[in-house]
């Protein structure tokens, strides 16, 4: 084996220019595919981060609530239950929310809105809603006023200090109606949310909806965002069938769909890239075999078995691929590290569309070690496949004809 490995290594250096071209193409393919995928995964991370800031990693509702989001499908909220959940393994935050639709009226206009009853202190620690405050002050637990999205306030022609009238359906057919002073305004990135959100302390929302001691959802955040499924299963088992526990994947299917589409596009693109590079490599390995038919014949004549010649071709191909992979990774790693530490800020329409989704407007490459291993393995597998035709040629080689 050492003999063949030495021979294979030296054979790679035999046609230096050709080997350099093959190594460069492998390195280039790796650099492009790793960078592209890192960019996609970096963006997913940002989207997931932004998405989970709104919905948490997990949500608990009364069973069946999520389908209809009916005010009548609320669950009992108590500090003891929140405490119990907060103490479960892997949970960092537990936020109670009471959310339902209502109509909001200014002096002359009315608009459908979403009323969010929140625990301002805990919520702010998680979503940093007060960081989006554009006017006035943020609400506290004991506040009697509300914070309104800036776009909505503009639509209703209301300002800080004005009063908004809210009317809607309360719990179990009660009428929800009330007048609330506007204490502050927040600027939300998503234009739809910026035209529809009203925030008030949870006790105030419970009173408004006649839903004392009730909540529509508990939002849970986890220490490790990759552990949503096991934690979900554990909590579901503890709470029983009266509750539904949902992961952010289920709550925000659009992120998963977007991931699927991007992954499909990436798979197609990288397949084309690897196909082109692979054809080049197959050509190289084939050439390395065809131009050495006589040499292989001589090797067989003096005692090298065909199986050893086939192994020699595999070793040469894999070594060529391995050097390409090492060079590719050596180029890709610092590039990804740099682009991860120095994201490119997005301006103009692109930046606005990111902000609209509540995502930081930057292009940042994600750091995913498994990606390096995966792409390197794909290239080595291609190099292995590239030897199939040459191995067939060696298998059919007739020594007496090859040495002519």
List contacts with other proteins (CB under 8 A): 3, 7, 10-11, 13-14, 294-295, 298-306, 399-400, 403
Cα of 304 vs its chain's centroid, Å: 52
Closest to 343 (Cα-Cα) out of 369, 361, 330: 361
Please name the residue ranges forming H helices in 291-363: 293-301, 306-341, 348-356
Residue 393, SS3 per DSSP: helix
> How near is the Cβ of 316 to other proteins at its closest, in Å?
11
Shortest Å, Cβ 368 to other proteins = 39
**Of 347 and 400, CB closest to other proteins:** 400
Beta partners for 221? Answer: 93
User: 335-345 burial by CB neighbour count: b if 16+ within 10 A, else e?
Assistant: ebeebeeeeee
Apex 186 CA angle, 344 and 206, nearest 5: 130
CB of 391 to other proteins, least distance (A): 16
User: Which one, 314 or 359, has the nearer CB to other proteins?
Assistant: 314
Q: Give the nearest distance from C-beta 320 to other proteins in angstroms.
A: 15
Any idea of the CA torsion for 55, 59, 64, 69, to the nearest 10 degrees?
-30
Q: How far is the CB of 326 from other proteins (least distance, A)?
A: 21
CA 103 and chain centroid, separation: 35
User: Of 12 and 95, which CB lies nearer to other proteins in the complex structure?
Assistant: 12
Q: How far is the CB of 371 from other proteins (least distance, A)?
A: 36
- The full 3-state SS of 95-130, as one line of letters, equals EEEEEEEEEEECCCCEEEEEEEEECHHHHHHHHCHH
Nearer to other proteins, 370 or 404 (CB): 404
β-strand pairing of 217-222 with 58-62: antiparallel
Chain mean position to CA 333: 20
Is 55 or 304 the residue whose CB approaches other proteins more closely?
304
Whichever of 11 and 143 has its CB closer to other proteins, that residue is: 11
Q: How far is the CB of 6 from other proteins (least distance, A)?
A: 8
How many Cα neighbours within 13 Å face the side chain of 225? 14
Lookup result for tokens 């639709």:
101
Which residue lies nearer to other proteins by CB, 58 or 394?
394
**CB contact at 8 A, 26 and 277:** yes
Least distance from other proteins to the Cβ atom of residue 3, Å: 5
Residue (245 or 311) nearer to other proteins, CB: 311
Which pair of tokens denotes residue 58? 């997990």
């Amino acid at each position: 084996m050492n003999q063949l490995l030495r021979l294979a290594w030296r054979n790679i250096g035999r046609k230096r220019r050709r080997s350099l071209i093959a190594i460069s193409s492998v390195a280039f393919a790796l650099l492009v595919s790793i960078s592209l995928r890192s960019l996609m995964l970096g963006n997913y991370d940002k989207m997931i981060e932004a998405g989970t800031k709104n919905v948490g990693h997990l949500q608990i509702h009364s069973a069946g609530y999520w389908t209809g989001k009916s005010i009548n499908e609320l669950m009992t909220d108590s500090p003891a239950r929140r405490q119990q959940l907060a103490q479960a393994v892997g949970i960092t935050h537990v936020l109670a929310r009471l959310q339902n639709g209502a109509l909001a009226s200014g002096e002359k206009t009315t608009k459908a809105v979403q009323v969010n009853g929140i625990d301002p202190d805990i919520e702010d620690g998680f979503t940093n809603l007060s960081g989006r405050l554009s006017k006035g002050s943020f609400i506290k637990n004991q506040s009697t006023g509300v914070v309104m999205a800036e776009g909505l306030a503009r639509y209703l022609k209301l300002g800080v200090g004005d009063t908004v009238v809210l009317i809607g359906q309360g719990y179990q057919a009660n009428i929800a109606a009330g007048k609330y002073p506007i204490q502050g305004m927040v600027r939300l990135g998503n234009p739809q949310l910026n035209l529809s959100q009203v925030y008030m302390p949870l006790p105030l929302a419970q009173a408004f909806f006649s839903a004392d001691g009730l909540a529509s959802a508990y939002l849970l955040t986890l220490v490790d965002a990759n552990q949503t499924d096991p934690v979900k299963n554990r909590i579901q088992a503890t709470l029983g069938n009266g509750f539904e526990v949902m992961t952010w994947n289920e709550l925000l299917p659009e992120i998963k769909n977007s991931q699927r589409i991007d992954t499909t596009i990436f798979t197609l693109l990288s397949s084309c890239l690897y196909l082109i590079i692979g054809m080049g490599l197959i050509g190289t390995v084939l050439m390395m075999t065809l131009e050495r038919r006589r040499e292989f014949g001589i090797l067989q004549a003096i005692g090298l078995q065909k199986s050893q010649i086939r192994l020699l071709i595999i070793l040469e191909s894999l070594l060529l691929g391995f050097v390409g992979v090492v060079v590719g990774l050596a180029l890709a790693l610092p590039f990804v590290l740099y682009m991860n530490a120095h994201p490119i800020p997005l301006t103009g329409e692109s930046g606005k569309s990111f902000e609209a989704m509540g995502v930081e407007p930057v292009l940042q490459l994600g750091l995913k070690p498994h990606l390096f291993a995966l792409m390197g393995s794909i290239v080595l597998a291609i190099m292995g496949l590239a030897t199939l035709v040459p191995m067939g040629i060696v298998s059919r080689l007739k020594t007496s004809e090859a040495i002519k």
